[in-house]
Amino acid sequence: MTTAAVQFRERRTRENTCLLFSAVSLIVTAGYQGRYFLFISVEMLRKLLMAMRGASVDDKEKKRFGKSRESSMETVRRILFLFSLLRNATAGRKLTAQEALRQMHSKGYSVSERTVQKYLNECSLFFAGVRRDESKPIGWWWEENTIDDTLQLSKEGALALCLAEAHLKHLIPSAELKHLAPLFEHARGTIKQNRYKKMLERIWITPRGLQLKPPKVDRVIFDQVMTAILDSTELEIDYKKSRDDDCRQRIIRPHGMVERSGLYYIVGPERYSERPKTWALHRIQGLRKKESFSYDKNFRISDYSNSGGLNVKYSPERIGLHLIVSKKASQHLLESSLSSDQTTEILKDGSIVLRATVDNTIELRWWIMGFAHECEVAAPAGLREEIHDMLLQALNRNHCQGRAG
């Protein structure tokens, strides 16, 4: 082979290697953006690999270039698997060529140690997050909190990440939040360059009513609870009820967590029970991990919350509520219903007669008391008496003369 031919072959090899790693970067990038984008990236990868062989993507060319394309796809699979190993390697636990070779062989990849070293070196040159340690034994790892410069977030993806940071950040465990921090920063930088920035500046979410400052939650306890939920691990908690001075120990099986008006509630039964309960996170003074448990696959935290599981119920049965609401307050109930079976009747004076089937909860009583003189409870009779007594107590407490001093 002539010198020119050798140089041409080496140049073509370098070009193919660069193209191959560019194609792999498309898949790595797609990993941040969901399965749909991954499908597109694989299709783009197929075309790039065909281009490496000077082939057409036409189906008529499949037989002619099938073998070389299959070899290229096998190379891509090896590199992707190797890249997954690198993403889990750290400076304190670096990935050596020998360890990578062992894991690749365990997955059925037929490859030599020299080839693995070549792939690892190429990764350290191509991906910004991959580092190489020259000390013996030579190792590679992914530098923590690094976003590779091949990552190209779409403007819609950047918007979703910015919204998640603004409204869901407090629900993410500290360890995961630390890894997501550079991705959030990358999203903020991306969204500054497009019109979606206006959505962050001009649209906001705020709860209704008087907002109380939520009690402080120990972040360490929060992270431990989230880990137990994800790993299905029992927790022995030191729990202090609102009216108790002393803590009581309970062994619970956390099935999920709900955030409600700034308060966090663990949902799950005690060890020897099947009935889910709620446990206010800020009342847990300490906890310890216990045994693993089998998660109830039929349990859905959304179903539990939507069915009123977080509410304090006076009875398990629902009640037929019958209200007469003044004209001044009626518009609110005409626009927003209490239940799916709610019916309303407008009287001559503009007030409305409302009927609805609702849960018999303490929240219902608070809501009715909020209307005060604008609302009359016609039924059930027991609830009418309760509201009457509560209003009398309020009248006595708020007498014109007040308390001395």
The length of the chain, given as a count of residues: 405
- Tokens encoding 160: 């979703």
Q: How far apart are CA 92 and CA 97, in angstroms?
A: 16
Cis peptide before 214 (omega within 30 of 0): no
In sequence order, which residues have a C-beta less than 8 Å from that of residue 235 and are 6 or more positions away? 224, 225, 228, 251, 252, 254, 287, 288, 289, 290
Report residue 220: phi and psi, to 5°.
-65, -45
Residue 267 has pLDDT above 90, yes or no: yes
Residue 57 has pLDDT above 50, yes or no: no
Residue 367 has pLDDT above 50, yes or no: yes
Q: Counting Cβ atoms within 10 Å, is residue 363 exposed (0-12), middle (13-18) or buried (19+)?
A: middle
| CB atoms near residue 368 (< 10 Å) | 20
Q: What is the mean pLDDT of residues 116-136?
A: 79
- Assign 350 a pLDDT band (cuts: 50, 70, 90): confident
Contact assessment for residue 342 and residue 334, using Cβ atoms and an 8 Å cutoff: no
| CB atoms near residue 164 (< 10 Å) | 16
Q: How far apart are CA 323 and CA 321, in angstroms?
A: 6
In the prediction, which pLDDT does 5 show? 62
- Tokens encoding 350: 């503009």
Q: What domains can you pick out in the chain, each with its CATH number? A: 3-142 (no CATH), 155-202 (no CATH), 219-306 (2.30.30), 313-397 (3.30.70)
In the prediction, which pLDDT does 176 show? 80
Element (H, E) at 357: strand 352-361
In the prediction, which pLDDT does 120 show? 84
What is this structure's pTM? 0.61
Q: Which of 28-37, 68-77, 101-110 has the highest mean pLDDT?
A: 101-110
Q: What is the CA radius of gyration of the chain?
A: 31
